[in-house]
Structure 1
Amino acid sequence: MDTYDVVVVGGGPAGLNAALVLGRCRRRVVVIDAGVPRNAAATHAHGFLTRDGVPPLEILARGRRELAGYGVDIRDLEVTHLEARDDGMRVTLQDGATLACRKLLLATGVRDTLPDLPGVAALYGTSIHHCPYCDGWENRDRPVAVYGRPKEATGLALSLLTWTRDLVVCTDGRRLTAATKAQLEAAGIPARTEKIVRVDGEHGRLSRIVFATGAPLLRHAMFFNTGQGQRSTLAAQLGCRFTRTGHVRCDRKGYTGVPHLFIAGDANGDVQFVIVAAAEGAKAAVAINKELQAQDHEAARRA
């Protein structure tokens, strides 16, 4: 059984940055990554100083290359089981290998729920988006559709006014409530409540939304708010507590309340930017290293 100071589950910005900090602390670290990053479909990452406009997969590749200089191991596998022990964790991988570690960091992220519409998957990440802060600038002053249930779509549309006023809310057969109708009318945002048949586009670019009745809606892009969920069940397996929105509860350093277990990145429901995930990874790494230092000092004292 291979033994590590820290096992990091998830090789996105949070996990890789945590591994970088811990590697520089001379800790023995392994990153376990299933290879399904949340933003794999995105063409560019934004809002990250010195990395604005860099493709997300390139950021991850750079991070992996940097980790090699600090002796951090990377295994491209899934974790199938976690077991809490008094002295740390036992981690079982899909190839049957078992690892032991003193501390575990979960950086498994979330999975976005895409609109269940024909044509969405082919356009996701290029002209269909979930985050205005990530992709609003690229669609400034363009005709944009906003998809979701009335309440969620209305909130997203009002936020998108920062970038464009050419907005149409699409509720896919759901009627507006009196409150959402009043909000949209006050903001001058029209709505289409007809059932959507499909979205059309070519080469990653949305062209129109086709409804069961009425004329198609010509749009340059679409933003949606249809929710998200934990990408992994590992936090639940270990008894973590969750918020009402389904995110993992933790303190500001990433400690979950489960002994030896920390979390960083989108799974905790904080602002979900690449730069924030990386920063959370660094903060969790410092907290983890402090716990390891305390254990090391106590072991030396007893010796």
Structure 2
Amino acid sequence: MEQFDVIVIGGGAAGLSGALALARARRAVAVVDAGAPRNAPAAGVHNFLTRDGMSPAELVARGRAEVTRYGGTIVDGTARGARRTGDGFEVDLHGGGRLAARRLLVASGLVDELPDVAGLRERWGRDVVHCPYCHGWEVRDRAIGVLGAGSVSAERALLFRQWSPDVVLFTHTAAPLTGEQAERLAARGVRVVEGPVAAVEVAGDQVSGVRLEDGTVVAREVVAVTTRMVASSPVLADLGLKPVEHPTGFGAAYPAADPTGRTDVPGVWVAGNATDLMAQVVSAAAQGLMAGAAINHDLVGEDADRAVSALRDGNDVATIP
């Protein structure tokens, strides 16, 4: 079983950024990742200065190369479980194999649970989108349909109105609009279509409309949805991380952490979408860097404590790791 200073679970922007900081700090670090980032269906990442428009696959490939250049290890695979041992943690890999480390950084991201509407999954990340800051420019001036859900639908429709003058809000499962919400939508020219949605219509390789359960089809080129965002790694529960509900109601339980990513479980940090459901790629990378630096700082303190203890026991300080 290979022993590392830190195992990073998840190799997206957050995980690779944390691993890069640790590798540059001369730590033995391994990144466990299956190479299937959440944003894989998208044509490019956006709002990442100097990397705007780069494909998610290229971003990951470059990140992996940078980590390995500084001595980090990339383990292609998925962590299926993790547990505390006497002096750190062990991580079990799907298909067999086990790694050990003194600290863990969980940056495994999340999965998007789409509304139960036919056609959404097939067009997800192309002309079925969720984040206007990620995709708004790419769908500007097109006919956008906002699929209602929960209590935030009116606000999302107004938000997408910034990118297009042709926005329709489909109430679907949304909470009833208040008088003020209806007035604001009308003032901005957002049409409201009542009733549940049955499917997204596709013509060729392009969304062509939204079909209601009564058979009515409203022509649209883009559909904006609200997903339920769920932290994806099974190791979170294994490690005893206490989940909290996201205040927006968008996501299921996720692990809380301090600004450096430190959790309530000693020795475990989290970064990126694993803890911040709303983080974009650039902010996830920043969180990974913060967590990596904090983990190294924690290890530096532990190393100093061990060295002092060994020195007091009469050992040669030159032999202390």
- Please give the range of the TM-score, normalised by the shorter of the 2 chains: over 0.9
Which whole-Å CA distance do the structure 1 matches of 2:207 and 2:264 have between them?
A: 45
Which whole-Å CA distance do the structure 2 matches of 1:270 and 1:9 have between them?
A: 17
Aligned length: 303
Q: Does the 8 Å contact 1:82/1:234 carry over to 2?
A: yes
Tell me if 1:292 matches 2:293: no
Q: Does the 8 Å contact 1:33/1:75 carry over to 2?
A: yes
Match of 1:193 in 2: 194
Which whole-Å CA distance do the structure 2 matches of 1:86 and 1:186 have between them?
A: 63
After superposition, the Cα gap between the structure-2 partners of 1:170 and 1:150, relative to the gap in structure 1 and judged at 3 Å, is farther
Higher gyration radius (CA)? 2
Deviations 1:41-72 (A, max 9, x none): 11111000110001111100111122221121
After superposition, the Cα gap between the structure-2 partners of 1:262 and 1:160, relative to the gap in structure 1 and judged at 3 Å, is same
Is 30-39 or 286-295 further displaced after alignment?
30-39
Secondary structure at 1:251's aligned position in 2? coil
Which blocks of at least 5 consecutive residues in structure 2 are unaligned? 247-252, 311-321
Match of 1:69 in 2: 69
Match of 2:236 in 1: 235
Match of 1:207 in 2: 208
Tell me if 1:162 matches 2:162: yes
Alignment root-mean-square deviation, CA = 1.8
Match of 1:22 in 2: 22
Match of 1:250 in 2: 257
Which whole-Å CA distance do the structure 2 matches of 1:65 and 1:237 have between them?
A: 30
After superposition, the Cα gap between the structure-2 partners of 1:190 and 1:214, relative to the gap in structure 1 and judged at 3 Å, is farther
Deviations 1:165-221 (A, max 9, x none): 311111336673435545533543221122323212245421111223364111121
Q: Does the 8 Å contact 1:150/1:171 carry over to 2?
A: no
TM-score, normalization by structure 2: 0.89
Offset at residue 236 of structure 1 (A)? 2.1
Which blocks of at least 5 consecutive residues in structure 1 are unaligned? none
Q: Does the 8 Å contact 2:82/2:89 carry over to 1?
A: yes
Give the alignment of 1:1-303 within 5 angstroms.
1-149=1-149, 151-172=151-172, 176-179=176-179, 180-202=181-203, 204-213=205-214, 215-245=216-246, 246-269=253-276, 271-303=278-310
Deviations 1:114-152 (A, max 9, x none): 122222122111111011100011122221110132523
After superposition, the Cα gap between the structure-2 partners of 1:175 and 1:108, relative to the gap in structure 1 and judged at 3 Å, is closer
Q: Does the 8 Å contact 2:6/2:103 carry over to 1?
A: yes
Which whole-Å CA distance do the structure 1 matches of 2:143 and 2:297 have between them?
A: 51
